[in-house]
Structure 1
């Protein structure tokens, strides 16, 4: 079955960042790209009344922008172009991903962010509250990374809260598809209350790392190159800044425990990491557990 990746495109630097990274991801994993521009539907417009000629103009302009975008996609990456109307950019991308049974949605950072940094805007925020497939957040400047860099490593942030299994499963799938190593980042040392004794934190961190490694060894293919790293620092931000990040790396994080099953919601830990990491971040939806009812 062909893997499909939906890319939200706008004729901006952020749009070009999204297409550039998605191209590298598709080339590494053998996926097809579906590059989409979402235009405001008639119902949303209060300035311009519905007009067939105006709609044609919008479609023609969008098609021209898409042509410019896909011209930079490597020939070896199959791709399609889509112009859709929807009440919001996020809604249009989610509907398209659902229609195509896409594996993920890729979007760029909001305007105003620094290079190699993430910035959430209204579209990404809506996606993170609504999507039922992983959302890939691309930092500003990703288009500057050489196309042949590809994907070099997958890092998965594994904490102690519900949803860790979903992150591990998705991370291993990414790593296997791209044929790259998997790094499991244990967050337990910075995921505990500040009042906990330092010695207890150290013991908990070592125990959690052993637990994650044992789970990984039991669940992951023997051929997958896997390592465990325990985050160290007084805070999430400090721990993340001490890590090494490769230009071709991606980071996977889980959704908040407050998220609905099979839906996204960026938790506080993931949000703090997002401010510091210089690589694309994949936010993985929660999965329904056996305790939450049928349909696991």
Structure 2
């Protein structure tokens, strides 16, 4: 299998390549760097359209050349210029053609440094891809020769999250990293802090945290009995008065990767981020991998 890095003509920096190289180095896979040139719509034989397509093709060749120059010597890489009806569909086509285990994308230039921000291409792909999608924070840089050190699964206590935990643990073992299950508890903001302890909302959050911790420990106990699982299993519950604070409480390090699952309202066997996963993605300070919804 391969790691496909989807580079766009507008993308600046090497965050996508940095993440793709780190993932490939960890799993022993090759990298396929793909640049997609989208056809004009509606199709036209006008000269101006032909000239524009020629310009896009040359620009794509320049992006490929820059990627070839950047790629570390220890990574086996192939470089592909692909023509398709649209950039999102073209990247998924390349991922399928090259038997990709994951499709790596960068963040929008309008987002904040160090966090994931979905551009139009990534937004469409994370709501339709049949292949796991890895998203690099804007400006992401791995350490030299970097590998995945720890995989964290975002757990919410639902049956689909149990499947996510097991898939994430298996990936962690394959990548040679430790494994952690994280749950995020966002407390309601109260007008008077003194009322929090006695508030119904606060008690519900406390009960949820206790229940989540119990279920997480059960899952980790189950994983510890399975073959080919990471030797180091951890758990954490991040709490805060907002998603940024709750996710930050989990403590993140170089080489961390966060995995999230897809909404049960999305299509089977496809990535489709729900509202909770979208909030986690927005505030995560590390690369995020979104897994497709399980078939069962």
- Give the TM-score, by structure 2 length: 0.86
Quote how far apart the aligned CAs of 1:173 are.
3.0
Deviation track 1:106-149 (CA, whole Å, cap 9, x = no partner) reads 00001211210111111111101110111011101113x33323
Do the aligned partners of 1:155 and 1:185 also contact (CA within 8 Å) in 2?
yes
2:215 equivalent to 1:217: no
Unmatched runs of 5 consecutive residues or more in structure 2 = 189-199
Give the Cα–Cα distance (whole angstroms) in 2 for the partners of residues 43 and 271 of structure 1: 30
Give the Cα–Cα distance (whole angstroms) in 1 for the partners of residues 127 and 229 of structure 2: 35
- Give the CA RMSD over aligned residues: 2.6
TM-aligned CA distance change 1:216 to 1:230, over 3 Å: farther
TM-aligned CA distance change 1:223 to 1:185, over 3 Å: closer
Unmatched runs of 5 consecutive residues or more in structure 1 = 290-296
Aligned pairs, number:
284
TM-aligned CA distance change 1:223 to 1:10, over 3 Å: closer
2:88 equivalent to 1:81: no
Give the Cα–Cα distance (whole angstroms) in 2 for the partners of residues 44 and 73 of structure 1: 36
Equivalent position SS for 1:163: helix
Task: Choose the corresponding residue for 1:100, options 90, 98, 103.
Answer: 98
- Between 189-198 and 72-81, the greater mean CA deviation after superposition: 189-198
Quote how far apart the aligned CAs of 1:260 are.
1.2
Equivalent position SS for 1:130: coil
Give the Cα–Cα distance (whole angstroms) in 1 for the partners of residues 88 and 102 of structure 2: 13
Give the Cα–Cα distance (whole angstroms) in 2 for the partners of residues 191 and 258 of structure 1: 25
Deviation track 1:226-284 (CA, whole Å, cap 9, x = no partner) reads 11222333444331021211121110001112111111111111111122211100001
2:22 aligns with 24
Give the Cα–Cα distance (whole angstroms) in 2 for the partners of residues 201 and 165 of structure 1: 17
- Give the TM-score, by structure 1 length: 0.86
1:148 aligns with 145
TM-aligned CA distance change 1:97 to 1:198, over 3 Å: closer
Quote how far apart the aligned CAs of 1:11 are.
4.6
Equivalent position SS for 2:268: coil
